[in-house]
A and B are shown apart, each in its own frame.
Chain A
Amino acid sequence: MRKFNSILVANRGEIAVRVMRTAKSLGYRTVAVYSEADAGAPHVAMADEAVLIGPAPVGQSYLDMTRILKAAEETGAEAIHPGYGFLSENAEFARACEKAGLVFIGPTSEAIDLMGNKAAAKRRMIEAGVPCVPGYEDKDQSDEAFISASEKIGFPIMVKAAAGGGGRGMRLVHAAKDLPAALSSAKSEALNAFGSDELILEKAIIEPRHVELQVFADSHGNVIHLGERDCSVQRRHQKVVEEAPCPVMTEELRGKMGAAAIEAARSIGYRGAGTVEFLLDAAGNFYFLEMNTRLQVEHPVTELVTGLDLVALQLKIANDDPLGMTQEDVRLSGHAIEVRLYAEDPAQDFLPCTGRITNWIPAEGDDVRFDAGIVEGQEISPFYDPMIAKVIAYGESREVARHRLIEALKRTVLFGLTTNRGFLIDILAKEKFADGGATTAFIGEEFTEGDLADAVPDAPSMAMAAVLQYRIERDRTLANTVFVTEGLLDWSNGGALITHYAYQAGDEKVDVAVSPQRDGSYLVAAGEAELSVEVLSQGASTALIRVDGRRHHVQFAAPSDSLLEFAESGKALRFTNLIALAASAEAGPAGGRITAPMHGTIIEVFVSEGDQVEPGTRLAVLEAMKMQHDIIAEVPGVVQLVAAVKAAQVAVDALLFEIETAAE
């Protein structure tokens, strides 16, 4: 008999959905918890029961142990799966679960505690004979101790927060003279972020690969590994692309790394799913980095190459069942690559973006998997991690997987907010990545600021956008008429009526004129260019359009008559018809309406009504997604209205200021 039959998933988004999928398939009753911001989220809809645990901020919901345990009690849940992030590596929570008589689906609180402290973990690994990066992880936190240690280790050196993760409290130091300053800033950042200012030093391995081993240990002493994942493609220490196997892996190296990973787990009496992260240098040396005591974001690539369900294995172990397999039973076949789709803007230094997902149609295809926790119409709020989905492709070879993934990304329809989709496609298409040569330095080396800048639309894109805007508004109108047959559309006995659109293309405003022709095509003048556009087929969000003889598969969404979201080959463009906007903008105080660019909190207001402002004057600061954004005046004039209030929460597009421009 099973120890538990109902599972509360103390998480949200794709991972909550992922865990529940397996749990349900194995006959478990599932309980979701959710914040006020997530009432309409898919994980809530999917669960057998769902409990509201508080307002949107994580501290009052997904990180609030008391509320989660209360939810478990109320719903009679017998086990808790923490997912990743949030409380997944919180030893206190694991203990609290045990105390409440709940099965915590994860390792023991001792293991979490141990691996949660980088310094302690490293000391244990050195004891266990697991190769570690030369470094310093002593209790003596004096500058003198760090300086003398650094001389032994040799530069460059990485300063890290002992309790840290996610790149915070981390500093790369190239020379001894820079060390004191790095120590002091890392300490204060670590204290802020993790509540502890303990630091460690590590020799910086330049341009290593990030290779991690998936391990599983049951409560009967069995420990196995499921091969490795290469997560070298990172941006600011955040993984972007993960794959299995590692492109430069050999059987011999895998054997060595696997043995080290198993030893790492065994030496601390580990139980459950864990990931042992290593740095792998060009010479094939590997060093223990840290151990993650939870299911990883990137676990699907391992599932695809092993054919195993990692969540099912977790549940088995949590039930105290033996793994039921040995190392020899683990077979790796084929190749899997995962990308993390984020709501963020690569052109704005990857600033997280909020918005409503208006269109979401994952591209179905052979061996393509979407792990997503979103639905159409869902609001992506600033309260949680901006990752909205993972796209994973499998192939018998790495090249097949890579191309499947590129195609899946291109064919997926996703509108409503800015994402890193185009950036992901660019990564996958880079020669260096295709060759399997990407290290942790890959993104920094391969992408310039120009590569990440917003694309300037070309004439064919503008022509297609204008024709789509024209037809969408036409068809919307048609639905409101009493009696007009389709055969009469695009026609006048008085000659073609030419409809104009105005788009911003870089610094230029381009006039795009759509003129329907007798043969059903459109003659489009886009700036200097003249193009013939034929719409071969048009669905709700995809179209096949021929422009001057060349066929384009495009995707689109038209949330309003003035805005067209457009994507071709996964590259998104936003077309705002300035003509449709002109009048309404001018109706207000001459272009002086300043609205919130995203959800957030106003943390400072600098101007009052009646103040004179110039273009560039800072009006306020909006904090969102842990980042501060200046609200800037774009026109000169006098502040007529201050709607922004310090410390107030504002929604995207909320009016903050009105500026009346000086009379001409």
Chain B
Amino acid sequence: MTAFASKIVSSSDAFATNRAEMLALVGELHTLKDRARALSERRRPRFEERGQLTPRERLIRLLDPGMPFLELYGLANFCVDTTDREKSIPGASLLAGIGFIKGVRCMICASDSGINAGAMTQRTGEKMRFCQDMALDKKLPFVHLVESAGANLLQYQVESWARGGGGFQRLAKLSAAGIPTLVVLHGPSTAGGAYFPGMSDYVIGIKGRGRASLGGAALVRAATGEISDEEELAGSEMHATKTGLVEYLAEDDAHGLLVAREVIGRLDWNKNCPRPHLKVFKEPLYDPEEIAGVVPVDYRRPYDVREVVARLVDGSEFEDFKPGYGSTLVCLQASIYGHAVGIVGNNGPIDPDGAAKGGQFFQLCDQADIPLVFLNNITGYMVGKEYEQKGMIKHGSKMIQAVSNVRVPKLTLYIGASFGAGNYGMGGYAYEPDFLFAWPNAKTGVMGGEQAALTMDQVARSGAERKGQPVDEEALAKQKERLINHFDSQADAFYTSGRLLDHGVIDPRDSRKVLGFALQTCWEARNRKLQPNSFGVGRL
């Protein structure tokens, strides 16, 4: 196979402009995450005073140095806590991702207790549940570093409580599926939070800091008048000696994390998973770093998606599937870190031929058990008489049906536009891709704001015409502006990621690594043998 011949000139002005604009967006992404980091870091003196580690330090101590870590939902709750983009704190006060502990791939959630003492935000529970769902699906031991003030009673919403129970239900499901769950109790976990340790298979309690009780001292006093000491009521030492809720008592955070690592190590978790037959592969001929200069941040400016693929796949080599048929849907057979994949990309809206080709390609990948990678830059399926009469609905439906029902792993990247049903056919959020990440330039929604505004403009003009009324140009202009704003403010990647409509926004230059990590995680999940039980392990 010969490598793709790139037409990109990395010394061109266009490349420089693209790169500058893309890196500016990447910079924005870092700025947002740094906002949460800095806010949490402000509490460092308090942590140090108490002999604790900061939440980020805990996460690093827990992880194997140098092993990859795939952060999940890093922007969760962005623009949910406040609509002010300049003030909103992303992350939902929970650090989460897939990382390695003693060589074991694990799902890790850690309370970011530097922010409001780890109190739940509107999206914290959902972020946790989604991570638990992924842990179950990907057979990842679930490790939770707990230090949370619990729910903010002033922001109580009934659905948060109702849905929140799912976090504990999932712990039971994980345990029953044969996937161990582990809690390090770094600080308080009161009321509902007490079920995090309660429902986990292994609990490591930090002496003097880790606490679990159904009611804290304040609530107990309010409820019964009893005056109690927090340590007697909830302390790790009490649980280690009296209730048996704590399996391992640790001196401090650092010690607790070392114990956690040992406990995970002792699972000998990798014994029940065969090793893959690793293939020899070449790094891409074209540096993945160049991606930033290859792609215009404005999705309306066309480019050949193969230029992106050439910077993602081994040796920059791929096989073009039916390049002369339905050519705007680009279907490529390639490999990533030696792992065979079918890649679908867009060089324009999908026409009926493209949809048919896509549906067939998905089924072929499914037949050969080859994971699918969807590179979304899709404004939608073609509209218009010609396309309708050629069966756009029928062919598009077949494609969406195939996406829905393929059995192979689906990895989706929003690399530009992802609008309307095009998003559905290209493995969008609702099609439950195994992993879904967005580039910071991505725009998603039912349609673009401009398009929505023009559509409504047309509707208004037709209505006025029908009624024989004059067109109120001023009102229409206002409506147009409002609509563009209404659509576009919900379309950008940071906003959608804040609503957990993807697993996170990534630096486009990391795409090969993200896909590689995701592929390997899926492979491991599908090859790992579990030993399920009926009810989960009870702490008897």
Contact A477 B514 (CB under 8 A): no
Say whether, besides A495-B30, A499-B60, A485 and B520 are in contact (CB < 8 Å).
yes
Contacting residues of chain A (311-361) with chain B, CB-CB under 8 angstroms: none
Verify if B74 is at the interface (C-beta below 8 Å from A): yes
Is the CB–CB distance between B513 and A493 below 8 Å?
A: yes
**576-591 of chain A: CB within 8 A of chain B:** 579-580, 582-584, 586-587
Considering the complex, give the chain B residue whose CB is closest to the CB of A466: B65
CB nearest neighbor in A for B281 = A485
Residues of B with C-beta under 8 A to A487: 283, 337, 512-513, 516
A580–B507 alpha-carbon span in the complex (Å)? 33
A485, chain B: closest CB distance, angstroms: 4
- CB neighbours (8 Å) of B16 from chain A are none
**B71 with A484: CB separation less than 8 A:** no
Given A494-B74, A494-B97: A489 touches B67 (CB 8 Å cut-off): yes
For A, the interface residue count at a CB cutoff of 8 angstroms equals 37
Interface-lining segment among B146-154, B250-258, B468-476, B492-500: B250-258
Q: Is A490 an interface residue (CB 8 A)?
A: yes
Select the stretch in B1-9, B171-179, B269-277, B416-424 that faces chain A: B269-277
Question: In the complex the two chains form, what is the Cα distance from A514 to B60 in whole Å?
Answer: 12
- B100 engages A497 (CB within 8 Å): no
Q: Cβ of A478: which chain B residues have Cβ within 8 Å of it?
A: 67, 103
| Contact of A480 with B270 at beta-carbon distance under 8 Å, contacts A487-B283, A493-B513, A499-B60 already known | yes
The segment from A24-32, A46-54, A284-292, A467-475 that touches chain B is A467-475
Q: Pick the contact of B516: A482, A485, A492, A583 (CB < 8 A).
A: A485
Write the chain B residue with the least CB distance to A474: B66
Q: What does DSSP make chain B's interface, helix, strand, loop or mixed?
A: mixed
**Which of B63, B68, B250, B509 contacts A489, CB < 8 Å?**
B68
Closest Cβ of chain A: how far from B456's Cβ, in Å? 38
The answer to the question of B70 belonging to the interface, with a C-beta cut-off of 8 Å to chain A, is: yes
- Known contacts A477-B102, A492-B69, A497-B69; A483/B523 CB under 8 A: yes
Within 8 A of B (CB), among A477-517: 477-485, 487-495, 497-500, 514, 516
Knowing A491-B513, A494-B33, A499-B60, the reply to whether A477 touches B252 (Cβ < 8 A) is no
| Across-interface contacts of B512 in A (CB, < 8 A) | 487
Most buried by A among B60, B66, B254, B504: B66
Q: For B63, B512, B513, which residue has the most chain A Cβ atoms within 10 angstroms?
A: B513
Contact across chains for B251 and A488 when beta carbons are under 8 A apart: no
Residues of A near B514 (CB, < 8 A) are: 493
Residue B103 contacts which of A480, A497, A498, A514 (CB distance < 8 angstroms)? A480
Which chain A residues lie closer than 8 Å to B103 at the CB level?
477-481
The answer to whether A484 touches B64 (Cβ under 8 A) is no
* Residue B351 interfacial (CB < 8 Å): no
- State in angstroms the CA–CA spacing of A516 and B66 once bound together: 8
A483 in contact with B33 (CB, 8 Å): no
* Interchain CB contact (< 8 A) of B524 among A482, A488, A586: A482
Other-chain residue from A475, A479, A582 in contact with B254 (beta carbon distance below 8 A): A582
Given contacts A474-B65, A489-B67, A492-B70, contact A583 B102 (CB under 8 A): no
- Judged by a CB distance under 8 angstroms, whether B199 is at the interface is no
Q: A470-B65, A582-B254 are in contact. Are A497 and B520 (CB under 8 A)?
A: no
Give Cα distance in the complex from A650 to B50, angstroms: 40
Minimum Cβ distance to chain B for residue A524 (Å)? 13
Quick check: is B195 within 8 A (CB to CB) of the other chain?
A: no
B19 contacts the other chain (CB 8 A): no
Hey, which chain A residues are within 8 Å of B283, CB to CB? 487
Give the one of B65, B504, B528 with max A CB within 10 A.
B65
Query: Complex formed: what's the CA distance from A477 to B265 in Å?
Result: 11
On whether the beta carbons of B69 and A494 are closer than 8 Å, the reply is: yes
Contact at A491–B60, with CB atoms within 8 Å?
no
Whether the Cβ atoms of A473 and B71 lie closer than 8 Å is no
Asked if B517 CB lies within 8 Å of chain A CBs, one says yes
Q: How far is the CA of A470 from the CA of B65 in the complex (A)?
A: 6
Which residue on chain B has the smallest CB distance to residue A561? B65
User: What is the minimal beta-carbon distance from A111 to any residue of chain B, in angstroms?
Assistant: 65
Q: Is B144 an interface residue (CB 8 A)?
A: no
> CA separation between A518 and B291, bound complex, in Å?
14
Bitwise, B316-342 to A at CB < 8 A (1) or not (0) is 000000000000000000000110000
Determine the distance from Cα of A579 to Cα of B61 in the docked complex, in whole angstroms: 9
Fill in one digit per residue for B3-46: 1 if any A CB lies within 8 Å of its CB, else 0: 00000000000000000000000000010010000000000000
Q: Whose C-beta in chain B lies nearest to the C-beta of A583?
A: B255
B513 touches A586 (CB 8 A): no
Task: Give the distance to chain B from A509, nearest Cβ to Cβ, in Å.
Answer: 15
* Nearest CB in chain B: distance from A144 CB, A: 71
Are A482 and B67 in contact (CB-based, < 8 A)?
no
The residues of B that contact A489 with a CB separation of less than 8 Å are: 66-68
User: Which residue on chain A has the smallest CB distance to residue B336?
Assistant: A485
B424–chain A nearest beta-carbon distance, Å: 26
Residue of A nearest to B65 (CB): A499
Residues A583 and B66 in contact in the complex (CB < 8 Å), given A488-B513, A488-B516, A493-B513: no
Report the bound CA distance from A411 to B195 in whole Å: 59
Q: How many angstroms between the C-alpha atoms of A61 and B413 in the bound complex?
A: 74
- Closest chain-A Cβ to B512's Cβ sits at a distance in Å of 8
**8 Å CB contact of A497 from B63, B102, B258:** B63
Q: Is the CB of A493 within 8 A of B258?
A: no
Q: How far is the CA of A487 from the CA of B517 in the complex (A)?
A: 10
Given contacts A481-B103, A483-B276, contact A492 B68 (CB under 8 A): yes
Complex CA distance for A8 and B104, rounded to whole angstroms? 55
Q: How far is the CB of B523 from chain A (nearest CB, A)?
A: 6
From B66, B74, B254, B255, give the contact of A490 (CB < 8 A).
Answer: B66
Q: Would you give the shortest CB distance from A340 to chain B, in whole angstroms?
A: 40
Contacts A470-B66, A478-B67, A492-B70 given; indicate if A586 touches B520 (C-beta within 8 A). Answer: no
Most chain B CB inside 10 Å of its own CB: which residue of A499, A516, A583, A584: A583
Within 8 A of B (CB), among A436-470: 470
Closest chain-A Cβ to B240's Cβ sits at a distance in Å of 14
- Report if B105 contacts A (CB, 8 A): yes
B137 within 8 A of A: no
Q: Which residues of B contact A584 (CB under 8 A)?
A: 255, 258
Contact code string B89-106 (vs A, CB < 8 Å = 1, else 0): 000000001001011110
CA distance A494 to B509 in the complex (A): 13
Which chain A residues border B270 with CB–CB below 8 Å?
480-482
B516: chain A residues within 8 A (beta carbon): 485, 487-488
**B432 adjacent to chain A (CB < 8 Å):** no
- Residues of chain B within 8 A (CB-CB) of A488 are 68, 337, 513, 516-517, 520
**With A485-B337, A493-B507, A586-B252 in contact, do A477 and B60 touch (Cβ < 8 Å)?**
no
**Nearest CB on B from A262, distance (A):** 67
B60–A498 touching, CB < 8 Å: yes
B506 CB within 8 Å of chain A = yes
Give min CB distance, A547 to chain B, whole Å. 19
User: Is B232 positioned at the interface, with any CB of A under 8 Å from its CB?
Assistant: no
Whether B481 is near chain A, meaning CB under 8 Å from some CB there, is no
Which chain B residues border A475 with CB–CB below 8 Å? 66
**With a CB–CB cut-off of 8 A, which chain B residues contact A485?**
278, 337-338, 516, 520
Interface centre among B74, B270, B517, B524 (most CB of A within 10 A): B517
Q: Whose C-beta in chain B lies nearest to the C-beta of A469?
A: B65
Which residues of chain A come closer than 8 Å to B258, judged between CB atoms? 580, 583-584
A-B contact pairs, 25 of them (CB 8 A): A471-B66, A478-B67, A481-B67, A482-B528, A487-B283, A488-B513, A488-B520, A491-B68, A491-B510, A491-B513, A493-B510, A494-B71, A495-B30, A497-B63, A497-B65, A497-B69, A498-B60, A499-B65, A514-B65, A518-B289, A583-B250, A583-B257, A584-B258, A587-B250, A587-B251
Q: What are the 9 A-B residue pairs with the smallest beta carbon separation, nearest first?
A: A474-B66, A480-B103, A494-B71, A583-B255, A492-B69, A488-B68, A477-B64, A485-B337, A499-B65
User: Known contacts A492-B97, A493-B70; can you find 18 more A-B pairs with CB under 8 A?
Assistant: A477-B103, A480-B102, A480-B103, A482-B273, A482-B524, A485-B337, A485-B338, A488-B517, A491-B68, A491-B510, A494-B74, A499-B65, A499-B66, A500-B60, A518-B289, A582-B254, A586-B251, A587-B255
